[in-house]
Amino acid sequence: MEYRQFGRSGLTVSALGLGCNNFGMRIDRQQSAAVVHRALDLGVTLFDTAQMYGQGTSEEYLGAALGTRRPEVVLATKFGGPKPAGPDQAPASRRNVVRECEESLRRLGTDYIDLYYLHFSDPRTPIEETLAALDDLVHQGKVRYIASSNLAGWQIADAHHIAANLGVTRFSGSQVEWSLVKRAVEDEIVPACERFDLGIIPYFPLASGLLTGKYTAGTEFPAGSRMAEVPRLAGDATDANFALVDRLTAIAKGQGHTILELAICWLLSQPGVSSVITGATTPEQIAANVDAATWRLNPEELAAVESAFV
């Protein structure tokens, strides 16, 4: 396993991270533990969850599975998920930052969170209020590093300058949806991260399975697959995307690799990427993902990938 610095911070993370959004939603406590233990044995140190995954069940399962091996890992979770209509509709308010941190600590069975993400932007709360609350948690020792997720490029820049002006802890990185199928982040978000030395953590690197060979044009989605179970994801299964995947598959095969390996390693070959988050529902899947993460594309191979988009 390769290990990388998280942006300009002192945090070191495994090049492949385990996304735990399946815990409590697609797999039970026992299966979640089996996936975690296999990941640990293979050198994965970054474990990524969120308060909203399984309504907290993911955090519970992950904390239980880590047990005494908690000090070996970088434990990342998120606050500020969408809230239902009602009087408490500001997900990133000081009240919610503090409350959700305490709840996550309890569910995870730990007294500190290594990496705490603002999950989504909150138009109801000034970012300076959120940053000040997070800074308090850092000084209390409950959080070690903070980061953002799903922010626009201008919001990343805004948060950086406001943190500098206030003299509070700044975001060390950003988690973004980025894959060979979804590259819009390269327009503004990735450049913003590079400008401010933020570690970039791509999620959904396999485009919900499109970049695994699991789906083929003109056929029904396999039972139990993400696209079969989550209708909004099925919108990516377009003729244009299937044609792109075919071109990328041919490029990967020409180098003796699979489309899955290309999808993961293309991201790991991008400047600023600290780790790539992949999910798994079985120990075999996490082993396959770890094996896939060993290839690094040379300039000629990167150019060949770009040719698939022309």
Active site residues: 53
Question: In this structure, what DSSP letter does residue 169 have?
Answer: P
**Backbone region of residue 24 per phi and psi (left: phi > 0; alpha: psi in -120 to 50; beta: other values):** left
At residue 12, the 3 state secondary structure works out as strand
Distance CA 207, CA 183 (A): 11
At residue 174, the 3 state secondary structure works out as strand
DSSP for 234-295 reads: GGG--HHHHHHHHHHHHHHHHTT--HHHHHHHHHHTSTTB--EEEE-SSHHHHHHHHHHTT-
Distance CA 121, CA 140 (A): 24
Please report which helix (H) or strand (E) contains residue 195, including its range.
helix 189-195
